[in-house]
Amino acid sequence: MFMIELNGTGWRYWLVTAALLTYGVVVDPIGFVLAIALTLVHLLHFVIMKRSVTAFPIQVRFWYLSLLLLAQVEGLGWIYWIPAIGTWAQVLFGYCAMARFVSLLPWNSCERFSFSLVSRTILARPVKGSIKQNIVAQK
């Protein structure tokens, strides 16, 4: 049930980010700024590691950073609850909603967009590795 990957660099980034977002939601909004800064470092680290700006893990981190930046807009601070809860789901259970939504983007799927694709993607069990590979295997 739990998918805790203490040795995974990405997992450790997500753990600290989840803690910072929780701090931001519960204690002090400075946690949001720190989470954004860490996510930017996380993104750049993976761009260098993957040597690509279009790799799927980079896309996930880019859209995650975009969501955090969107929440900075006046009146949209409530959005921080979404990544705060979602990041804990990723850290504890390996369920990454952002990766699932990113996998549905047209350039990431060779399957025609349909309710079946969306339901399979959202309801698929958490997996180690890429959700993209898991959804293709379910066809």
pLDDT number for residue 73:
97
Q: pTM higher than 0.85 for the full model?
A: yes
pLDDT digits (tens, 9 = 90+) for 34-77: 999 999 999 999 999 999 888 999 999 999 999 999 999 999 99
The full length of the chain comes to 139
Q: Quick check: helix, strand or coil at residue 93?
A: helix
Q: What are phi and psi of 20, to 5 degrees?
A: -65, -40
Give the C-alpha separation, 61 to 64, whole Å. Answer: 5
pLDDT number for residue 139:
53
pLDDT digits (tens, 9 = 90+) for 44-56: 999 999 998 889 9
Residue 125 pLDDT exceeds 70: yes
List, in order, residues 6 or more apart from 83 with CB less than 8 Å away: 21, 64, 67, 68, 71, 98
Q: Which residue, chain included where needed, has tokens 């803690």?
A: 19
